[in-house]
Chains A and B, each alone.
Chain A
């Protein structure tokens, strides 16, 4: 029979527009959050991080927002470019005495020229 794979959430934006990618995390003990970008054929690359004592952090063209009340993380990309097309993962480090980093399923961003 035919097999059905799991599909990534996707976001399609016009070049030059702002992109917002959202992520929900589950563990209130998590104390550090990271966004990674994965381009085709490569491993994930670090974009930006935020600690749990902050609610906003800005980088170059990227901003991460953390809402601990609703366990929500977002990545905003300003003036999205074709080179931003990739899969974006949020990840959390859990403060449980271990070294685990837990990843979300990812969001695929398409940038239309």
Chain B
């Protein structure tokens, strides 16, 4: 079974802080994704990565950056946290050869910015 692990379940940060959200998957998947989830808005794609050191903007990349130095790890960075970035953040992975295959999700990090 694929396991996607997000390092923190809950985080509380102050406005202006730099925040790192970490995600690790153990199934050698090439593709990794960061979504944010807000009530009534579903999941919105922030950034994704085809493979190591590659990244692409999703639908709402403003205020975020990412890092993919190793295949198993995909980090989401909030350069200067703001209150409108309070949300649930979900990491997911998928194997490239099976583009038409489901995403495997972690259990999320709930971030509160005060």
* Inter-chain contact B107/A93, CB cutoff 8 Å: no
Residues of A close to B101: CB separation below 8 A:
49
Q: Bits for A25-59, please: 1 = Cβ < 8 Å to B, else 0.
A: 00000011010100001111110010100000000
Q: Assess A103 versus B42: contact at CB under 8 Å? Given A44-B90, A51-B100, A98-B56.
A: yes
A49 vs B56: C-alpha distance in the bound complex, in angstroms?
25
* Inter-chain contact B42/A45, CB cutoff 8 Å: no
Q: How many A-B residue pairs have CB under 8 A?
A: 67
Partner pick for B50 among A36, A46, A99, CB 8 A cutoff: A99
Q: Assess A34 versus B106: contact at CB under 8 Å? Given A6-B39, A99-B48, A100-B58.
A: no
Partner pick for B102 among A46, A51, A98, A99, CB 8 A cutoff: A46
Partner pick for B40 among A6, A41, A89, CB 8 A cutoff: A6
Residues of B close to A46: CB separation below 8 A:
102-104
A45 vs B31: C-alpha distance in the bound complex, in angstroms?
17
Partner pick for A8 among B35, B39, B102, CB 8 A cutoff: B39
CB distance from A47 to the nearest CB of B (A): 9
* Inter-chain contact B40/A5, CB cutoff 8 Å: yes
Residues of B close to A61: CB separation below 8 A:
none
* Inter-chain contact B105/A8, CB cutoff 8 Å: no
Q: Bits for A11-27, please: 1 = Cβ < 8 Å to B, else 0.
A: 00000000000000000
Interface centre among B38, B40, B43, B94 (most CB of A within 10 A): B43
Q: Assess A105 versus B90: contact at CB under 8 Å? Given A41-B107, A43-B4.
A: no
A51 vs B99: C-alpha distance in the bound complex, in angstroms?
12
* Inter-chain contact B102/A49, CB cutoff 8 Å: yes
Q: Can you report 18 residue pairs joining A to B where beta carbons are below 8 Å apart?
A: A5-B40, A6-B39, A6-B40, A32-B99, A36-B102, A36-B105, A43-B92, A43-B106, A43-B108, A46-B103, A46-B104, A89-B42, A91-B103, A99-B31, A100-B58, A102-B45, A104-B42, A105-B41
